[in-house]
Structure 1
Amino acid sequence: MSIRVVSYNVLVPIYADQPDFYIHSDPRYLKTNYRWNLIKSQLEQEITNHQNTIICLQELSRTLLSNFEELFNKYNYTLHYCLYGGPHNDYMGVGIAVPASVRVNKRSMIKIGSYIRSMTRPRGAAANIISQIRSLCDRLARKPFKQSIDPWEIAMARNNTLVCLHVTFNGKSFCIGTYHMPCLYDTPDVMIIHVSVAKDLMFHLADGQDFIFTGDFNIEPHNVCYRILTRQDFSDYRFPASNSYEISYRPHTKQILKSAYREKNNKEPAYTNYTHPSGMPLFCETIDYIFFNGRIQVQNVLKLPDEATGKSYPDETHPSDHIMIAATLLL
């Protein structure tokens, strides 16, 4: 038996409605109504052309939430979502829509930053004194003094939330989760912490069952975070330490994931994100994935283009700066 799994970062309208940001996109194609009609059409094709389609979404928003709920109600789907953002990003969040053929047994919504905090505790006064003495010595030696920010503190402050469903389909139980990784390329240690913790949390929630883990991970296939997810005992990196906290968490390096596209095509897609915002270089990379663990097999994947066209997405036929990915998986 098989299921279809879709993952799609749909781009929040509050970002798209900024022609001065997406300067290489035609303003007509940034309008919310235009983009929604394309998004709706793409999702409907996946629902009607495949059986038992589960849809994972990133960058859900308050503006389009009712549109998505109306669409899913039409096809007898239930949307499980968490909007964890704020007014600046229209309360951006993630969600998973499942058809009536898939029974939801349990739902978990876990803010990864809070989960990280539960595995830490502030260091004692002695450590603080030593830190102060070191700072004083640096100043006396007339070395440039710069207050470093603890990556664990940044990681704990993020609101990014993992949505995970424990489901049963045709007597087979499994888990499916979706996540939108913090986009913090300037602080790679924070991304290493989040990706390691999120991966190990999925294993913990699945508790031995097969599981699927989708989303916008904001990491390229050559990135250290990708190798942490997919390579056992990967050790070509230094896991971040903390000067301010005692960390009880240790990465489970033997727990790794497989990528649906790599399993089927022996490589990841050429790209899943194509954008050229104002004041930033052109970005054309693969950062969206359908990972899995267990006895799952990949039957097929949605064919994706080998190269991007035009100057930037969104455009006339691409309603988001991401492209939708999908895979048919045998359970």
Structure 2
Amino acid sequence: MAVRIVSYNILVPILANRPDHYTKCQPEFLQTEHRWNLIQSQLEQEIVQHKNTIICIQELSLPILPKLELFFRRLNYTFFQNLYEEQCKDYMGIGIAIPISMQLNSISIIKIGDHIRSFSKLHNKETNLFTWGWNIYQSAISKFIQPISDPWEIAMTRRNTLIFLQVVIDGKVLCVGCYHMPCRYKEPDVMAIHSSIVKDLMFELSTGKDFILAGDFNLKPCDICYRALTEKDYADCILPKSDIYEISYQRNAGQVLKSAYREKNGVEPIYTDFSHTPHSPNFCETLDYIFFNGRLAVKDILELPDHPTSESYPDQTHPSDHLMIAATFELLS
């Protein structure tokens, strides 16, 4: 019994169609039609060449959504999606596609910001003459000094959602999640909150069953958050305090994930994201992962290049600034 998991950040058109941003890309390679032809070709190859292929998409967009719906319908797939961002970001979202023949037990779409809010309670501060005066003072100076943002408040305002499916493959239950981590490099506490909560939520939702969590996590293998996801009882990841809320959540450091590529190769890929932009010249890092937990064995993976062959993605053969990643798992009895 085996399942193939594919994860792909396909880059929203509103970001791709910016020659002033992707300054080392040829403009024709940024066009949606060129990119879409390559994307569907790559996805179809994974579906045709492997049994029980499940596709996890990040940076889904409203312009691409109808194309994907028709594509998956043609290949006898069911596509579940959630667009959560604003119009200025092409209503960016995520999706999971499964074969129509695959038994689906349940589906959940969870807005992580709302989940965080569910275990957060505003501090109940006593009001007296001193605090009343202090609040007036704080209000006055806030007009001249930008107040420090609370990381938990920022984490709650992120729109990112988790799609969680429970399927049955040859009589064995498997849970699959797809997530796109908020890209908040300048606010590592926010990323620590989201990564920790999504990981623990997968354990909670799967209720002891095997699960796979795939997506663009915007984390490098050397980052504290990655190590907290993959190393048991990792102590250097300390979630921040909140000045606004009482947070009842505590990170479960004993629950960790394995990474498919690291399990198979001993190391993560050299890179899964490559682009040259004014703010991040020659950015070449691993940000995409297929994590898992339970009685699953990695049979094989989609081999990735050792180094880019152009000045920047997207290019003639790479329709996104991310590489597609994939792994085949054996479901052990």
TM-score by length of 2: 0.94
Paired residue total: 327
Aligned to 1:158: 158
SS at match of 1:197: helix
Counterpart check, 1:224 vs 2:224 = yes
Aligned to 1:242: 242
CA contact (8 A) 2:218 2:288 kept: yes
Q: Which residue of 2 aligns with 1:318?
A: 318
Tell me if the contact between 1:101 and 1:169 (Cα under 8 Å) persists in the aligned partners: no
Show CA shifts across 1:53-91 (max 9, x none).
Answer: 100000011101111111111111000110001101111
Residue 60 of structure 1: aligned partner: 60
SS at match of 2:222: coil
- Write the distance in 2 (CA, Å) between the matches of 1:131 and 1:323: 55
Residue number in structure 2 paired with 1:298: 298
Q: 1:190-229, aligned counterparts within 5 Å?
A: 190-229=190-229
Q: Hey, what does 1:108 align to over in structure 2?
A: 108
**Cα separation, 2, equivalents of 1:131 and 1:182:** 36
The answer (yes or no) to whether the contact 1:52–1:101 under 8 Å persists in 2 is no
Does the CA contact (< 8 Å) of 2:105 and 2:168 recur in 1? Answer: yes
**Aligned-partner residue type, residue 3 of structure 1:** V
| Alpha-carbon displacement from aligned partner over 1:224-280 (angstroms, at most 9, x marks no partner) | 110111011111132211011000000111110000000000000000000112343
Residue 99 of structure 1 is matched in structure 2 by: 99
Show the counterpart of 1:34.
34
**RMSD over equivalenced CA pairs, Å:** 2.0
Structure 2 counterpart of 1:12: 12
Instruction: Map 1:69-84; keep pairs closer than 5 Å.
Output: 69-84=69-84
Residue 63 of structure 1: SS of its match in structure 2?
coil
How far did residue 125 of structure 1 move? 2.1
Distance in structure 2 (CA, Å) of the matches to 1:239 and 1:18: 36
1:148 alignment partner in structure 2: 148
Provide the C-alpha distance between the structure 1 equivalents of 2:133 and 2:75, rounded to a whole number of angstroms: 61
Whole-angstrom CA distance in 2 between matches of 1:186 and 1:294: 34
- C-alpha change, 1:296 and 1:17, in structure 2 (3 Å) is same
| 1-structure distance, mates of 2:18, 2:103 | 40
Equivalent residue for 2:256? 256
Cα distance in structure 2, aligned partners of 1:9 and 1:257 = 21
Corresponding residue SS for 2:24: coil
Q: CA deviation at 1:100?
A: 2.3
Task: Structure 1: give runs of 5+ residues left out of the alignment.
Answer: none
The answer to whether structure 1 residue 86 and structure 2 residue 86 are counterparts is yes
CA contact 2:225–2:237 (8 Å) conserved in 1: no
1:58–1:216 contact (8 Å) kept in structure 2: yes
For 2:109 and 2:89, the matched residues in 1 are separated by: 20
Amino acid corresponding to residue 183 of structure 1 in structure 2? C
For 1:131 and 1:68, the matched residues in 2 are separated by 56
State the 1:124 CA deviation.
1.2
Secondary structure at the residue paired with 1:106? strand
Alpha carbons 1:29, 1:35 under 8 Å: kept: yes
Q: Is the Cα–Cα contact under 8 Å of residues 192 and 237 in structure 2 kept in the other structure?
A: no
Task: Tell me if the contact between 1:260 and 1:290 (Cα under 8 Å) persists in the aligned partners.
Answer: yes
Q: Could you report, residue by residue, the CA deviation over 1:15-56 in whole angstroms, capped at 9, with x for unpaired residues?
A: 111111111100010000000000011001101111111000
Does structure 1 conserve the Cα–Cα contact (< 8 Å) formed by 2:40 and 2:71?
yes
Alpha-carbon spacing, 1:234–1:76, altered in 2? closer, same or farther (3 Å): same
Structure 2, gaps ≥5 residues long: none
Identity %: 54
Whole-Å separation in 1 of the counterparts to 2:315 and 2:220: 23
Aligned partner letter, 1:61:
S
Offset, 1:130: 6.2
